């Protein structure tokens, strides 16, 4: 015998059997990767839904805050416009309890301590 000769090639049936015996391992690996993909996709969909809900809530809160700020700007503009109006200033002074120099003070016995019922309180921001 010649010791330097290469071994004979495997029989075609044996090579086919080796390929078929690796198939379950390949299928298990493919199933595992598919399962991991499904888990990742589920997580991504859940995370997207959470971000959408959070974004909608923050958008609604921001719009409400903008409306409040716009209301404050309107009140301040009205107060600035009326700051030079003598009738408005007289009305505000009366609401704070001031009386004109030529007026006579009449106080009812059951009058409240603060004149809130006759005056409209305007909150300045």
Q: Which two tokens stand for residue 2?
A: 């010649």
This prediction has a pTM of: 0.52
- Interatomic CA distance for residues 87 and 74, integer angstroms: 20
Query: pLDDT tens across 71-118, in order?
Result: 999 989 988 888 888 888 888 887 777 888 888 877 778 877 665 556
pLDDT band at 67 (very low <50, low <70, confident <90, very high): very high
124 contacts 76 by C-beta, under 8 angstroms: yes
């Amino acid at each position: 015998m010649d010791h330097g000769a290469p071994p004979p090639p495997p029989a075609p049936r044996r090579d086919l059997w080796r390929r078929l015996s690796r198939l379950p391992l390949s299928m298990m690996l493919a199933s595992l990767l598919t399962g991991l993909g499904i888990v990742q996709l589920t997580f991504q969909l859940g995370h997207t839904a959470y971000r959408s809900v959070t974004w909608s809530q923050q958008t609604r809160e921001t719009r409400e805050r903008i409306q409040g700020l716009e209301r404050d700007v309107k009140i301040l503009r009205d107060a600035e416009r009326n700051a030079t109006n003598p009738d408005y200033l007289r009305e505000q002074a009366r609401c704070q309890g001031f009386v004109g120099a030529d007026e006579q003070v009449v106080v009812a016995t059951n009058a409240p301590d603060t004149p809130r019922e006759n005056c409209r309180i305007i909150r300045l921001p």
